[in-house]
Amino acid sequence: MKWTPGGVSQNVEDRRGEGGGGGFRGFGGGGMRLGLGGIVVLLVLSLIFKQNLFQLLDPNAAGGAMPSSGGGPVQSSASEDTLVRFVSFVLDSAQSMWAQTVPSLGAEYREAHLVLFRDGVESACGFAETATGPFYCPGDHKVYIDLGFYQELKDRFGAPGDFAQAYVLAHEIGHHVQWLLGTEEQVRRAQRSRAGRENELSVRLELQADCYAGVWAHEADREGILEVGDIDEGLNAAAAVGDDRLQRMSTGHVNPDSFTHGSSAERVAWFRRGYTSGRPDDCDTFSGSIDR
């Protein structure tokens, strides 16, 4: 991507200096002990279901472990400082586009905040550890990410590149747009009233966020921010976090009925649809088949 490192966005909350608390005790300490293979399985399942499954290993965590608030200074390397500036750039770019677009969709745009953390973080949606992966919390309208996830995205999931990183953040901002438009609440209500369709509705919500990420990519390309190969990085990242691929990595089997985010092919298709069109109206994943 063509981007010029600048300052940190005013919408970034840096909590990396706070203690994570509620720590995972897989090696030594109390609770159940896991080998490396077990840790990988829990990591992948936590990413699939966006729930902190590691806390199940700690018998004292049944009520939801709370992080201690260290509030100390942030220790950050030069490479991590660059990454903070990069996510700031992507955050501001995506929100600038949506601030111009959302009013035409019938809502007022309110900026989301991006919370950076290490190990664990408390949000209005509960306590989450790094293994949960990046997530958007509609309770406080914030995106949460441990920057270490990007190394996992590259090394474990085979999705390197700065635009792969940008795709992850743009997807979460897509969830913020869904909250602003009332889509997120409509889906939650439907999930409560339509037994047996909870996972299907979750998949449709996630695929729309992928499509919205593609809409931002379209605008970024129009502005000359993208370089050759960037879209391929985004498509590769979308495929890397498909439910079928993650399930195959963790268990060796695929169960479509348990999908919550969509298959690799579906995630790629909807990101590409948003990128090709550049129109949020073309991101309707709730009408008809999602295999489009």
181-210: pLDDT as tens digits:
999 999 999 999 888 889 999 999 999 999
Q: Is residue 173 part of a domain?
A: yes
- The answer to whether residue 18 scores a pLDDT higher than 60 is yes
- Can you give the pLDDT at residue 34? 41
Q: Is residue 150 part of a domain?
A: yes
Q: Which two tokens stand for residue 184?
A: 């997120």
pLDDT by residue (tens digit) across 267-278?
999 999 999 999
User: If residue 128 lies in a helix (H) or strand (E), which one and from where to where?
Assistant: strand 126-129
Q: Which two tokens stand for residue 116?
A: 């950076």
Task: Work out whether the CA dihedral 186, 201, 270, 91 comes out positive or negative.
Answer: positive
- The answer to whether residue 131 scores a pLDDT higher than 90 is no
Q: How far is CA 266 from CA 32, 45, 163, 211, 290, in A?
A: 36, 19, 19, 10, 7
Q: Kindly give the residue spans of alpha helices, DSSP state H, lying in the chain.
A: 36-49, 78-101, 149-155, 162-181, 183-193, 198-222, 230-240, 243-251, 264-277
- The answer to whether residue 289 scores a pLDDT higher than 90 is no
Q: Is residue 135 part of a domain?
A: yes
CATH number, domain containing residue 226: 3.40.390
Check: CB of residue 53 under 8 Å from CB of residue 42.
Answer: yes
Range of the domain at 82: 12-283
State the amino acid at position 86 in one-letter form: F
Q: Is residue 1 part of a domain?
A: no
pLDDT by residue (tens digit) across 146-155?
999 999 999 9
Q: Is residue 2 part of a domain?
A: no
State the amino acid at position 39 in one-letter form: I
Number of domains in the chain: 1
- Can you give the pLDDT at residue 72? 58
Residues 6+ apart with CB under 8 A from 42: 34, 53, 54, 57, 131
Average pLDDT over residues 158-173: 97
Q: Is residue 288 part of a domain?
A: no
pLDDT by residue (tens digit) across 35-94?
444 445 556 666 655 555 544 444 333 333 333 333 457 788 888 999 999 999 999 999
31-39, Cβ contacts within 8 angstroms, sequence gap of 24 or more:
31/57, 31/58, 31/59, 31/60, 32/57
Q: Is residue 27 part of a domain?
A: yes
- Can you give the pLDDT at residue 47? 62
Q: Is residue 245 part of a domain?
A: yes
